[in-house]
Structure 1
Amino acid sequence: MLGLARRALLRLGASSLPPQQARALRLLLRPASTSSKKAHSFTVSYLVGSCGLSPESALAAAKAVQFAAPSRPDSVLEVFRNRGLSPTQVSSVVRRYPRMLISRPDNLSAKLEFLCSRGISGRDLVRLVVAVPGVLTRSLGCHLMPTFEYLSGLLQSEAKAVRSIKRSPRILYHDPKVLLVPSIGILRDCGVPEAKIRWSVLSLPGAFSLRSNVRFEDAVSRVKAMGFDPLRTNFLLALQVVRGMNESTWRRKVDAFGNWGWSEEDVVLAFKRNPGCMTMSESKIAAVMDVFVNEMGLDPLYMARRPTMMMLSLQKRIVPRCWVFRVLLSKGLIRTTRSLNGFLGVLRSCSWRRL
């Protein structure tokens, strides 16, 4: 049946298309050659046997890459193993970037050696390759080197550039002229000091390497509209949260707080006091509010003014300390639940990124 359909399409194409397009149609519909079938079969078998892919993943990967001999992919796998990648990690890299298997091993080694020479080695190098294997598809001379040099110049230190890359390897993958440079220009235009811009690239590089639905300029406008001061660090923390969240996710979290009587103004108040409170899942919001409101008897709005309390570990800190607090309260050793904030060990300087 497939052969009859192919012949019919060829006859129609040859009679109705210009010669050049008719030839292209014949090539497109031509039955796969025996050598092509063998290469496809070998590739799938190799991806399963040597790379640890499932048959389904191997079939999908074979659409992107094919080879008829194991010499090149064997050499690529050896490069990865020599750098400390486990079989599971190699499988993850190959599944996401199957064409990596036909890379020139010497080029691949040169890129890895460059990263090592700049201070990204051992476990850090493995984490980078597994997190963003696409970094190794970038040109060494035309992209990796100049991007690293740009980050080093911006942060005034190679060591700081390495720290930024370790926090968000995608900042090394993307062309700085496409995402980073324009974003920095927007921050300068809205009055963020140079020192804080450098701090944000060092400490919050993920905010500059997201291709999210929320454009950087839109996110800056939203954060300013909420009343954040560009001169303060919280402006940049809030920007990172907004950049990483689409409007529907934001609305779901606002609704989750709304279930406990918070208005949108209360949500913004909590967000301004600790931007990280909006990174909690809806289930975490419901669980901590249940403990503080239903079990501890706190006013829900008390939490809006102390959002860091909600961000503590539910099982490791909130539940056990609240249990001890209730015992002390029942014995008259503590007079009011309003001292719970201090009892939980919440500090004003507590960073949401470490909770």
Structure 2
Amino acid sequence: MLRLRSCTLTQLLSSPYTSHVSPLHRLLSAAAASGISPGFAAEEYLVSACGLTPAQALKASAKLSHLKSPAKPDAVLTFLAGIGLSTADVATAVAKDPLLLCAGVERTLAPVVDGLTGLGLSRCEVARIAVFVPSKLRCRSIVSALQYYLTIFGSMDHLLRPLKRGFWLLSSDLERVVKPNVMFLQECGLHDCDIAKLCTHVPMILKINQQRLRAMVACAKALCVPNGSGMLAKALQAVAFYDEEKIATKVEYLKKTLRWSDTEVGIALPKAPMVLTYSKDRLQRVSEFLISEVGLEPGYIAHRPALLSYSLDGRLRPRYYVVKFLKENGLLHRDRDYYYAVTVTPKVFMEKFIFPHKEAAPHLAEDYATACRGEVPARFRFT
């Protein structure tokens, strides 16, 4: 038995999938040469050969109780090392899917890897898939599924982002659920890039039944966001976790807090549907600042709802202090208003509002940095 296992490992370590020596290779080679006794102690193997913690090994070992020898797990570990998984990667993959150790290398794993590389994926990308969704490495259907998703997401880099979050679309019914949902969203005017972004934020969007998806789209349109609008994806993201009653409640809160009329709500939401997802505390604090301290009219905010999306302490308040300081000292050009100051990038803000006043206000940059940290410099305390 020991001689056979040693032979098997030697053959595997010289296979096309193990072209370089890694710590995992050395671990397996040492195991083969150390005279380990026959049989298979799953918990001990999972700790010593796979790098799992004792607690992980205890949980995972139940799924390996049918194994009588380490021959198949040894072969799988060697294969995984050959496609680029580190010892830590193997531990992560096996902890997620202990049955990966039971997969046939020649019958299952190698054909799947060959299929994925045939799609243009690098060995590194295949290795990352093995870490994020190891159970799918045991399913040949992953090849056709990924081929389809790559047409939506555009690249493996984009697809790997949701995979990191436990993306379950690879196990969804592609033909009966996913493809019809994608087609419906395309009919609503969404491009593949819109669908990919939406799916990253709301993974369930392609898995739910189409009746519910149509209801979500209808809800988004009720916000006055029409088909083909660039805001439709944002609106779907905003309403994804709310029913009609919750949305109506949130709209009433917006009207009360921001002093908006129905007309002003109808102006603001199509431009910034994500306002519906903001917490009540955030909306209360921002509205009080913009209306009471800055002195903006509710209608002005409704036409520029992007103001509500910025951090109060990190952007709205510090930039307001700068604008007010410049106005108080007669340094602000007449076409520079607060909304412009808030919406420009940090780099542009410095170029337009800070750097030109180095001589007249030498401490302005320092005071602005202090305000961004949540403090109020003495020069920004206006009477």
TM-score (norm. length: structure 1): 0.62
Matched residue, 1:70? 70
Q: 1:112 to 1:274 in 2, by over 3 A?
A: farther
What is the Cα deviation at residue 97 of structure 1? 1.9
Q: Could you give the per-residue CA deviations for residues 262-290 of structure 1, whole angstroms, max 9, x where no partner exists?
A: 66956675442133444556676566556
The CA deviation at 1:230 is: 0.8
CA contact (8 A) 2:64 2:99 kept: yes
Change (3 A) 1:145 1:93: closer
Do 1:253 and 1:281's aligned partners in 2 also have CA atoms closer than 8 Å? no
Structure 2 CA distance for aligned equivalents of residues 306 and 297 of structure 1: 14
User: Does the 8 Å CA contact 2:51/2:87 hold for their aligned counterparts?
Assistant: yes
What one-letter code is carried by the residue in structure 1 that aligns with 2:59?
Answer: A
Q: Which one of 331, 334, 343 corresponds to residue 333 of structure 1?
A: 331
In the aligned structure 1, how far is the partner of 2:312 from the partner of 2:55? 39
CA RMSD of aligned residues (A): 4.4
User: Distance between the aligned counterparts of 2:260 and 2:229, measured in 1?
Assistant: 25
For residues 50 and 133 of structure 2, the distance between their equivalents in structure 1, rounded to whole angstroms, comes to 18
TM-superposed deviation, 1:110: 3.4
Matched, 1:160 2:145: no
Name the counterpart of 1:242: 239
Query: What is the match of residue 133 of structure 2?
Result: 132
**Distance of 2:58 and 2:77 partners within structure 1:** 19
SS in structure 2 opposite 1:63?
Answer: helix
Please show how residues 183-262 of structure 1 align to structure 2 within 5 Å.
Answer: 183-187=181-185, 191-193=187-189, 196-206=190-200, 210=205, 211=207, 215-243=212-240, 245-247=241-243, 260-261=257-258
Decide which of 177, 180, 183 is 1:182's aligned counterpart. 180
Assess, with a 3 A threshold, how the Cα gap between structure 1 residues 83 and 297 changes in structure 2: closer, same or farther.
Answer: farther
Calculate percent identity across the aligned residue pairs.
Answer: 25
Q: Residues 168 and 115 from structure 1, CA distance in 2 versus in 1: closer, same or farther, beyond 3 angstroms?
A: farther
Structure 1 residues 139-189: Cα deviation after superposition (integer angstroms, max 9, x where no partner): x2xx2333345456x66xxx936466345444444332133222134346x
Structure 1 208/69 Cα, relative in aligned 2: closer, same or farther at 3 Å?
A: same
| Structure 2 unmatched ranges of 5 or more | 1-38, 346-383
Residue pairs, 1:134-149, within 5 angstroms? 134-138=135-139, 140=140, 143-149=141-147
Report the TM-score when normalising by structure 2. Answer: 0.59
Q: 1:274 and 1:108, CA in 2 relative to 1: closer, same or farther beyond 3 A?
A: farther
Which AA in structure 2 matches 1:105?
V
Paired with 1:135 and 1:92, the residues of 2 have a C-alpha distance of 14
Alignment partner of 1:62: what SS? helix
Match of 2:356 in 1: none
Aligned length in residues? 296
Q: 1:339: Cα distance to partner?
A: 2.4
Secondary structure, counterpart of 1:344 in structure 2: helix
**Given the alignment, which residue of 339, 342, 345 partners 1:344?**
342
Q: Larger C-alpha radius of gyration, 1 or 2? A: 2
* Distance in 1 separating the partners of 2:129 and 2:223: 35
Equivalence for 2:96: 96
Report the residue type matching 2:57 in the other structure.
A
